[in-house]
Homo-oligomer: A and B are copies of this chain.
């Protein structure tokens, strides 16, 4: 790598640290996490690296310099800022996603209440509101039961979401993982996933839901992915 390339990568790492640290405040703002639970990671553009939250550190203490830099096998880059700590215990799952879904730039994991409630029943969230058709293009699917210790969580996420419209998967008896083109997009998916999990849970407590015809779901998803938001900023949000 040339000196110039090295400087570009360092800048990209620093930006990703700042973005990932900052985005964790959205998880507390929307009540998706408690104590030290939950984690966000972001891929470093132009490098085989990602940045992730440290394990067991309070949300009040998160800052760019204690985010942890990992290679795509989930190993901490030795000597990098924050490397004296352990990365999130979900790092292997994040790394598996980055290795196997090259277009994905961000991963988020939470145990947000309503999404986890659907996961405890192993039940997909049906698409009965237009905002969910916009954002997820149909139901939010369930991934397999898998526990920490090998690649099984990462494999479950990728097997469920690869080729699926949804950017969120409910891991059975566990919680939710979301993916996105960058960390912010994955955080948005986590926020919206909990919102539809809550709304549709409450809706169903009150009686029978009205389904949305598939062609309407398709039309809404297509429009939202291609039209909505401020195009001059180049970001669909």
Query: Within residues 193 to 237 of chain A, which ones have a CB less than 8 A from any CB in chain B?
Result: 195, 198-210, 212, 216, 219-220, 223, 227-233, 235-237
Residues on B with beta carbons closer than 8 Å to the beta carbon of A86? 229-231
Contact, CB under 8 Å: B117 / A206: yes
The interface bits of chain A over 134-161 (1 if a CB of B lies within 8 angstroms of the residue's CB, else 0) are 0000000000010111000000000000
- Whole-angstrom distance between the Cβ of A50 and the nearest chain B Cβ: 20
Contact, CB under 8 Å: A113 / B34: no
Contact of A229 among B55, B220, B227 (CB under 8 A): B55
Contact, CB under 8 Å: A128 / B173: yes
Q: Known contacts A116-B129, A123-B206; is A57 also within 8 Å of B230 by CB?
A: yes
A39 in the interface (beta carbon within 8 A): no
The interface bits of chain A over 26-42 (1 if a CB of B lies within 8 angstroms of the residue's CB, else 0) are 00001000111100000
Residues on B with beta carbons closer than 8 Å to the beta carbon of A228? 55-56, 89
Contact of A206 among B36, B201, B206, B231 (CB under 8 A): B201
Interface size class of chain A, counting residues whose CB lies under 8 Å from the partner chain: 35 or more
A48 in the interface (beta carbon within 8 A): no
Contact, CB under 8 Å: B210 / A172: yes
Contact of A131 among B55, B111, B216 (CB under 8 A): B111
The interface bits of chain A over 49-93 (1 if a CB of B lies within 8 angstroms of the residue's CB, else 0) are 000001111100000000000000000000000001110010000
The CA-CA distance from A55 to B236 in the complex, in Å, is 10
The CA-CA distance from A231 to B195 in the complex, in Å, is 35
Contact, CB under 8 Å: B113 / A195: yes
A114 in the interface (beta carbon within 8 A): yes
A174 in the interface (beta carbon within 8 A): yes
- The 4 A-B residue pairs with the shortest CB-CB distance, nearest first, are A56-B229, A117-B203, A120-B203, A117-B202
Query: Told that A120-B199, A123-B207, A147-B216 touch, could you supply 16 new A-B pairs with CB distance under 8 A?
Result: A34-B191, A34-B195, A35-B188, A55-B230, A117-B203, A117-B206, A121-B208, A122-B210, A123-B206, A131-B175, A145-B210, A145-B216, A147-B220, A148-B220, A149-B219, A204-B206
